[in-house]
Amino acid sequence: GQNIDQPTEMTATEGAIVQINCTYQTSGFNGLFWYQQHAGEAPTFLSYNVLDGLEEKGRFSSFLSRSKGYSYLLLKELQMKDSASYLCAVSAQTGANNLFFGTGTRLTVIP
Amino acid sequence: DSGVTQTPKHLITATGQRVTLRCSPRSGDLSVYWYQQSLDQGLQFLIQYYNGEERAKGNILERFSAQQFPDLHSELNLSSLELGDSALYFCASSPVETDSRETQYFGPGTRLLVL
């Protein structure tokens, strides 16, 4: 089976940096995605990692360690609009690229 | 706007009924995925179609079925509905069949409430 773990909730202050961790145990691995989802809305793509290391994209960065089954999403210079759920998802199935999602981390940014 | 459309946006029905959810992928995308998101659970993969053929199956109940038509739109049929089927149902699309580097683009979802 597939197991993807994230913290349920986090709170951080506007302007600060927050790191959201994700650990996974899957039967295969074709890449790890991070999505942002505002309440009641569709998930939107943030980042993709398939090789070990850090991928930086503006205020958001994502890190992957395949040997540890670990990833994190780093959000810098937090803004109020960053309050949302952040979903870690793994593409784990050979011959398909459906995603297995964690339950998501609800981030609340406070002034 | 991801370019993926889903109808209806909201659906209220009773237990035992059958409903059909519709999805139109982004222009040019051949793969369609269906996901279910319940309140206390993450997104659960249900099924994937590629160019009209079923490609992968997840935790889809036997009461649920899907298909992808020649024009690439897809429908998810939910029958003998139960209270626990109340959830957000998302459709996503991507251009390819198996290349995970291609991200999936999610539609706005259909919120199903079973009373």
Quick: pLDDT tens for B77-86.
999 999 999 9
Cα A50 from chain centre? 13
Average pLDDT over residues B86-98: 87
Tens of pLDDT, residue by residue over B4-58, are 999 999 999 999 999 999 999 999 899 999 999 997 778 999 999 999 999 888 8
CB contact (8 A) between residue A44 and residue B2: yes
Would strands A60-65 and A53-57 be described as parallel, antiparallel, or unpaired? antiparallel
Quick one: which of B29, B34, B31 has its CA closest to B47?
B34
Which candidate in A37, A57, A85, A99 is best for mutational testing of the B interface (most B CBs within 10 A)?
A: A99
Mean pLDDT for back-to-back runs of 10 residues, chain A (111 residues): 91 97 91 93 92 94 96 97 96 74 95 95
Partner B contacted by A51 (CB < 8 A): no
Query: Helix, strand, or coil here: B105?
Result: strand
* Region of B2 on the Ramachandran plot (φ > 0 left; ψ -120 to 50 alpha; else beta): alpha
With beta carbons less than 8 A apart as the criterion, state whether A100 and A89 touch: yes
Partner B contacted by A29 (CB < 8 A): no
Average pLDDT over residues B98-106: 75
